């Protein structure tokens, strides 16, 4: 893979925006940084991370999947047509933080694997060149290093960039990243990798050491499942969905139709395992009847089930959003410690 | 009260006493959070547990939200708003009065993290507090801010900072009430054309994710099934449709009318920092004007929507 | 907008206004046909979400009518309803729904003439407010344009 430097960020972003791809990048709006389609001059650099995780660029809160209407020619029949898939544009995402890119990779293994392929996710995810921006000054709630990541992590990225004075250092990580940078003008070859190692070590030294998840990972599922600490955490939990909506790896959805007298639209919406509605059966039976089961599900999923299903990869990437936003301070780091006791 | 450490000591002692005297089997309070601007609700069942209680300005919820249908005797370490909410719940028969022991604490107001971040505009790695100031530390810098300058919006118009009329015992010094909300901004808005009003209120909730943290944090939202979760019929779509979101906020405000104690838990829990109380204030103003009712102020006064007067005025009805 | 015919959802109490509508009909009193009636056992049964749901689904106006205060079949249903109306009326207008869209009235089953007058007034006021475009859910996009 190759390395490049550019003298100023803006000309790089202009070149990226002129590549024929839609530019998605962090920008500030109403005092909050979010990933949005922006012009190069509005891209933000002075942010810890985007307020919401970047998952909605690939898995929006509401995604219209198909529309149906009554067939005029055939009474009782409906005509279906997919919505949106043909409107997905090739994109370049600039400014993903390594934790979030790693989170998207976790989602990718859910939406595309040997059993299923989700065309909506696949088209967007694979149609995007993902350029990460390394964290040279990690935030107060960051703990990527505690769960196996790094502020200069490379998982899920095509290119990793870091700030170098007024410019950028860039390192390509995939053929797609290589090809994209090759097509841009104004890049100088070399001069990034050496510097990157030093910056990486400096940034990592400001972050916590790894969480001891060994026991939680090794113990049988039912042993962790039956641990007594779940009740204490659940006592406090309000069962709001804030953690799941902010989490870069939470990917659950609910498919619903909205209809009128002529037809309807099928859409999928973010759902949250914190809600009792998430598991209620048509019969009225609810396999997760109380807060305790719901809270346990979330943490078991992140720290036990995902590692089991995805070859050891932790379902938490340490972005710190849930720690920051949980109204009752349920801290996934503390839960992980409880699970490993 | 000379220091925060003294107050914490007093809270812990009062909690242990409530357990020892059999007035409660559990004490609800807060303990120190694990990250800047956080506090964790703490439920102490043993004298040792009580050692973790602290007074915090970073509470984002209202402890009364844990009370409805609670099966045992509870001692509540309560700010004014929390005491008022608990009183409201007793009035609404959510649990018997004798199951509640209120340890009131004079409160100088909660701190709004967004207000602090808006002033500092740099990463804050550590936050501590004493009685009247918060102390911030970042990368190579420290700063102190008076709490009074970064209060939560609802705390700026608190009329019950010292719940001595509602508490079974009081801790902490008196915090005199602040001037009540005069609703001046809403009155000014009422004179504007309809389009402007709607743009304002729809604009307030444009970022809403419908995570329902506001509802879950609210001490009034104890319905077994919320109307937004009803499925037969389904009143609200599950998508992020703007009108569905707007409807949620309007109806939630309506359900809280004449019951809301302005505790601000909804706004503090909201991860998108939406000014949710604007909807509640609309109705709060009307409830005060028409029925002179103050929620949670007495143990036996019925909420205004559960009662009536034959001569209630409603001149808009033809 | 001269050919605009408003669609109004009317919630009538079974014991009074519903009867007044019936009496107006048998008395051959002329009134505009722009409202669809939902019969309620009492205005006290009216959940505010019904009103918002009507608007949400595209109604241009809503009209709620029940028994005069003191005449409730269930003694106090309309007294309780009246307090809800006060708040709802205030809230709906305060958030920017045009004042001409939401109407309340007390009409007994003997007041066919009042029914006629109020029906005319309600329809005219809603008509003057124009189609409800801001306080409703957007029409579903069924992708029909692309098919055609």
Report the distance separating Cα B112 and Cα C13, nearest Å. 48
Q: Which helix (H) or strand (E) holds A41?
A: none
Confirm or reject contact between C141 and chain A (CB < 8 A).
yes
Q: Which chains touch C (3 or more CB pairs under 8 A)?
A: A, B
- The predicted pLDDT at position C2 comes to 65
Q: CATH number for the C8-147 domain, one of 3.90.25, 3.40.50, 1.10.10, 1.10.155?
A: 3.40.50
Tell me the pLDDT of chain A averaged across its residues.
93
When the pLDDT of each residue in chain C is averaged and rounded to a whole number, the result is 93
Q: Which two tokens stand for residue A138?
A: 């990690």
Q: Chain C interface, mutation test: which of B187, B189, B194, B225, most C Cβ atoms within 10 Å?
A: B194
3-class secondary structure for chain B?
CCCHHHHHHHHHHHHHHHHHCCCCCEEEEEEECCCCCCEEEEEECCHHHHCCEECCCCCCCCHHHHCCCCCCCEEEEECHHHHHHHHHHHHCCCCCHHHEEEEEECCCCCECHHHHHHHHCCCCCEEEECCCEEEEEECCEEEEEEHHHHECCHHHHCCCCCCCCCCCEEECCCCCCCCCCCCHHHHHHHCCCHHHHHHHHHHHCCCCCCCCHHHHHCCCCCCCCCHHHCCCCCCCCCCCCHHHHHHHHHHHHHHHCCCCCCCCHHHHHCCCCCCCHHHHHHHHHHHHHHHCCCCCCCCCCCCHHHCCCCCCCCCCCC
Query: pLDDT class for A191, splitting at 50, 70, 90?
Result: confident
Q: List chain A residues with CB under 8 Å of B139.
A: 137
Tell me, what's the pLDDT at A209?
86
The pLDDT of A232-239, averaged and rounded, is 93
> Which run of H or of E encompasses A284?
none
Q: What angle do CA B148, B149, B154 make, to 5 degrees?
A: 70
Give residue A171's pLDDT: 94
Residues of chain B positioned with their CB less than 8 A from the CB of C90:
282-283, 286
The reply to whether residue A262 touches residue C142, judged by beta carbons under 8 angstroms, is: yes
Residue with tokens 């809503």, as numbered in its chain: C62
CA distance C55 to chain A (A): 15
* Cα A321 to Cα A323: distance, rounded to the nearest angstrom: 5
Residue A295 CB contacts under 8 Å (≥ 6 apart), including other chains: A230, A233, A234, A237, A239, A274, A330
CA C82 to chain B, closest CA, distance in angstroms equals: 7
pLDDT at position A212, please? Answer: 83
* SS3 label, residue A172: strand
Do the Cβ atoms of A48 and B123 come within 8 Å? yes
Q: Chain A contacts of C140, Cβ < 8 Å?
A: 67, 258-260, 263-265
Beta strands B141-146; B74-78: pairing state: unpaired
The answer to whether residues A107 and A249 touch, using CB atoms and an 8 Å cutoff, is: yes
- CB contacts of C146 in chain A (<8 Å) are 81
Greater confidence (A212 vs C52) lies with: C52
The DSSP bridge pattern shows strands B141-146 and A159-164 to be: unpaired
From residue A219, alpha-carbon distances to A213, A233, A309, A340 in Å are 10, 20, 15, 9
Q: What is the pLDDT of residue A118?
A: 94
DSSP C132: -
**pLDDT given at position C148:** 46
Q: Pick out chain B residues at pLDDT < 70.
A: 1
Q: What is the pLDDT of residue C145?
A: 66
- Give the domain ranges of chain B: 4-305
Q: Hey, is A163 helix, strand or coil?
A: strand
Q: Which chain C residues have a beta carbon less than 8 Å from that of B237? A: 137
CA torsion, ordered A93, A273, B74, B151, to nearest 10 deg: 20
SS3 A4: strand
In this prediction, residues A31-51 reach a mean pLDDT of: 93
**The tokens of A284 are what?**
């009225």
Whether A262 has its CB under 8 Å from any CB of chain C: the answer is yes
Q: Is residue A211 predicted with pLDDT exceeding 90?
A: no
CB A216, CB A28: distance < 8 Å: no
> Min CA distance, B286 vs chain A (Å)?
30
pLDDT confidence of residue C146: 56
Angstrom distances, CA of residue A169 to CA of A15, A139, A153, A174:
15, 21, 15, 16
Classify strands A62-70 and A263-270 as parallel, antiparallel or unpaired: antiparallel
Asked if residue A244 lies in contact with residue A275, where contact means CB atoms within 8 angstroms, the answer is no
DSSP secondary structure string for all residues of A233-275: HHHH----SHHHHH-SS---EEEEEEE-SSEEEEEEEE--TTS
Please report the pLDDT score of residue C115 as a whole number. Answer: 96
Q: Is there a contact between A258 and C146 if contact means CB atoms under 8 Å apart?
A: no
Q: What pLDDT, in 10s, does the model give residues C87-139?
A: 999 999 999 999 999 999 999 999 999 999 999 999 999 999 999 999 999 98
What was the ipTM of the complex prediction? 0.93
- Indicate yes or no: CB of C143 within 8 angstroms of CB of A81: yes
Contacts of B221 in chain A (CB under 8 A): none
Q: Which residues pair with A135 in a beta bridge?
A: none
Interchain pair B268, A327: CB under 8 A:
yes
Note whether A263 contacts C: Cβ–Cβ < 8 A: yes
C18-41: per-residue pLDDT in tens? Answer: 999 999 999 999 999 999 999 999
Write down the residue that tokens 């709490």 correspond to: B147
CB contact under 8 A, A323 and B61: no
Q: Do C48 and B290 touch (CB under 8 A)?
A: no
3-class DSSP assignment, residue C39: strand
In this predicted model, what pLDDT tens digit does every residue of C41-86 receive, in sequence order? 999 999 999 999 999 999 999 999 999 999 999 999 999 999 999 9
Tens of pLDDT, residue by residue over A82-124, are: 888 888 899 999 999 999 999 999 999 999 999 999 999 999 9
Sequence spans of domains, chain C? 8-147
Query: Would you call C148 an interface residue with chain A, using a CB distance cutoff of 8 Å?
Result: no
Please check whether residue C139 touches A, CB under 8 A. Answer: yes
CB contact (8 A) between residue C94 and residue B247: no
Q: Do residues B152 and B111 touch, judged by C-beta distance below 8 A?
A: yes
Residues of A with CB under 8 A from a CB of B: 30-31, 48, 61-62, 137, 139-141, 235-236, 238-242, 244-246, 254, 256, 258, 267, 269-272, 275-277, 320, 323-331, 333-334
Instruction: Supply the pTM of this predicted model.
Output: 0.94
Other Cβ atoms closer than 10 A to B275: 13
Instruction: Please give the helix or strand (H or E) that residue C147 lies within, else none.
Output: helix C144-147
Q: Is there a contact between C55 and C136 (Cβ–Cβ < 8 Å)?
A: yes
Instruction: Report which secondary-structure segment, H or E, holds A182.
Output: helix A175-182
3-state secondary structure of A60: coil
Asked whether the bond before B233 is cis by omega within 30 degrees of 0, the reply is yes
CB contact under 8 A, A265 and C139: no
- Chains with at least 3 CB pairs less than 8 angstroms from chain B: A, C
The answer to whether the beta carbons of residues A57 and A24 sit under 8 Å apart is: yes
Per-residue confidence (pLDDT) for residue B258, from 0 to 100: 92
d(CA A144, CA B143): 28
The nearest alpha carbon in chain B to C104 belongs to B317
State mean pLDDT over A21-28: 95
DSSP for C59-123, written as a single string: -SEEEEEEPPTT--TTSSHHHHHHHHHHHHHHHHHHTT--TTSEEEEE--TT-HHHHHHHHHHHH
């Amino acid at each position: 893979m190759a390395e490049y430097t550019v003298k100023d960020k803006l000309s790089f972003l202009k070149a990226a925006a002129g590549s024929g791809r839609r530019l998605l990048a962090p920008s500030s709006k109403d005092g909050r940084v979010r990933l949005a389609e922006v012009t190069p001059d509005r891209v933000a650099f002075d942010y810890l991370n985007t307020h919401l995780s970047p998952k909605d660029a690939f898995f929006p809160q509401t995604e219209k999947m198909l529309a149906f209407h009554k067939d005029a020619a055939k009474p009782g029949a409906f005509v279906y047509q997919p919505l949106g898939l043909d409107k997905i544009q090739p994109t370049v995402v600039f400014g993903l933080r390594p934790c979030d890119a790693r989170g998207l990779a976790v989602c990718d293994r859910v939406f595309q694997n040997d059993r299923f392929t989700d065309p909506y996710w696949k088209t967007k995810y694979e149609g995007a060149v993902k350029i990460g921006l390394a964290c040279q000054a990690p935030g107060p709630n960051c703990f990527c290093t505690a769960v196996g990541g790094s502020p200069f992590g490379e998982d899920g990225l095509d290119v990793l960039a870091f700030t170098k004075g007024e410019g950028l250092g860039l390192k390509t990580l995939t053929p797609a990243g290589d090809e994209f940078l090759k097509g841009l003008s104004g890049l100088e070859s070399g001069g990034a990798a050496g510097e990157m190692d030093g910056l990486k070590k400096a940034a990592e030294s400001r972050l916590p050491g790894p969480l001891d998840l060994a026991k939680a990972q090794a113990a049988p599922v039912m042993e962790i499942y039956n641990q007594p600490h779940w009740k204490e955490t659940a006592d406090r939990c309000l069962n709001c969905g804030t953690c799941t909506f902010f989490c870069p790896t939470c990917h659950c959805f609910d498919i619903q139709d909205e209809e009128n007298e002529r037809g309807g639209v099928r859409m999928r919406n973010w759902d949250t395992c914190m809600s009792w509605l998430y598991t209620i059966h048509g019969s009225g039976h609810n396999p997760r009847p109380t807060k305790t089961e719901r809270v346990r599900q979330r943490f078991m999923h992140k720290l036990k089930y995902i590692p089991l299903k995805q070859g050891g990869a932790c379902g938490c990437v340490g972005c710190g959003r849930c720690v920051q936003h949980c109204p009752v301070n349920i801290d996934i780091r503390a839960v992980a410690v409880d699970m490993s006791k | 009260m000379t220091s925060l450490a003294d107050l914490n000591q007093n809270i812990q002692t009062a909690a242990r006493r409530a357990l020892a005297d059999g007035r409660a089997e559990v004490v609800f309070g807060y303990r120190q959070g694990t990250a800047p601007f956080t506090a964790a609700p703490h439920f102490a069942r043993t004298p040792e547990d009580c050692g973790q209680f602290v007074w915090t300005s970073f509470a984002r919820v209202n402890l009364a939200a844990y009370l409805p249908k609670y099966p045992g005797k509870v001692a509540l370490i309560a700010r004014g708003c929390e005491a008022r909410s608990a009183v409201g719940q007793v009035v609404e028969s959510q649990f018997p009065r004798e199951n509640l022991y209120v340890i009131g604490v004079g409160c100088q107001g909660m701190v709004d993290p967004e207000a602090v971040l808006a002033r500092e505009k740099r990463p804050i790695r550590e936050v501590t507090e004493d009685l009247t100031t918060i102390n911030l530390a970042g990368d190579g810098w420290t700063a102190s801010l008076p709490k009074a300058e970064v209060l939560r919006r609802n705390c700026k118009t608190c009329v019950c900072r010292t719940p001595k009329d509602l508490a079974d015992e009081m801790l902490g010094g008196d915090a005199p009430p602040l001037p009540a909300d005069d609703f001046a901004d809403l009155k000014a808005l009422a004179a504007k054309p309809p389009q402007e009003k709607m743009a304002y209120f729809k604009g307030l909730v444009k970022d809403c994710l419908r995570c329902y943290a506001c509802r879950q944090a609210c001490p009034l939202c104890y319905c077994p099934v919320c109307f937004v979760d009803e499925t037969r019929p389904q009143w609200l779509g599950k998508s992020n449709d703007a009108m569905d979101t707007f409807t949620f906020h309007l109806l939630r405000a309506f359900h809280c009318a004449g019951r809301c104690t302005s505790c601000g838990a909804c706004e503090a829990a909201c991860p998108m920092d939406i000014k949710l109380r604007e909807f509640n204030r609309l109705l709060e103003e009307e409830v005060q004007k028409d029925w002179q009712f103050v929620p949670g102020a007495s143990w036996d006064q019925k909420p205004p929507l559960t009662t009536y007067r034959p001569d209630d005025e409603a001149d808009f009805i033809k | 907008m001269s050919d605009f015919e408003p669609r109004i959802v009317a919630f009538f109490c079974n014991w009074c206004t519903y009867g007044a509508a019936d009496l107006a009909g048998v008395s051959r009193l002329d009134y505009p046909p722009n409202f669809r009636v939902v019969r309620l056992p009492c205005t006290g049964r009216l959940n505010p979400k019904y009103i918002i749901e009507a608007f949400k689904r595209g109604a241009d106006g809503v009209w709620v009518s029940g028994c005069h205060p003191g005449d409730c079949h269930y003694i106090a249903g309309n007294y309780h309803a009246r307090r809800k109306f006060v708040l709802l009326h205030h809230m709906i207008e305060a958030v920017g729904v045009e004042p001409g869209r939401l109407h309340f009235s007390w009409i007994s089953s003997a007041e066919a003439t009042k029914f006629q007058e109020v029906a005319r007034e309600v329809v005219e006021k809603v008509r003057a407010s124009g189609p409800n475009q801001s306080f409703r859910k957007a029409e579903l996009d069924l992708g029909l344009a692309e098919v055609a």
